[in-house]
Amino acid sequence: MADPDIRFTLANERTFLAWVRTAIGLVAAGVAVFHLFEVTVATTTLSLVLLAAGALSGVAGYSHFRRADRAIRRGETLPTNTVTAVVMTGAVLVAVVAGVASVLVA
């Protein structure tokens, strides 16, 4: 089997690194919320949600990278990734809840 065009492989690696950056950012946000704000049920919950989203992003990114790499090497159609929509929806929900909470606290 011939190696695929290197541009596809490198693009797949860049996409994986974007998932890793997202995971690191979410974990950093979770740690920051826990350490920078008064510990309450709300801040602890937000921190745990951000940490879980970071872990999910890392796992989802690696899974997508492996499936896409396999498809590229086999010359198949690239797989879809439904986790993207889940992570995006979760990020929007966290932003809305954080915004509402900041208005209520102020």
Q: Over the stretch 26-64, which tens digit does the pLDDT of each residue have?
A: 999 999 999 999 999 988 988 998 999 899 999 999 999
SS3 sequence of the chain: CCCCCHHHHHHHHHHHHHHHHHHHHHHHHHHHHHHHCCCCHHHHHHHHHHHHHHHHHHHHHHHHHHHHHHHHHHCCCCCCCCHHHHHHHHHHHHHHHHHHHHHHHC
Could you tell me which residue, 31 or 98, shows the higher pLDDT? 31
| Calpha distance 104→16 (Å, rounded) | 38
Q: What is the mean pLDDT of the chain?
A: 88
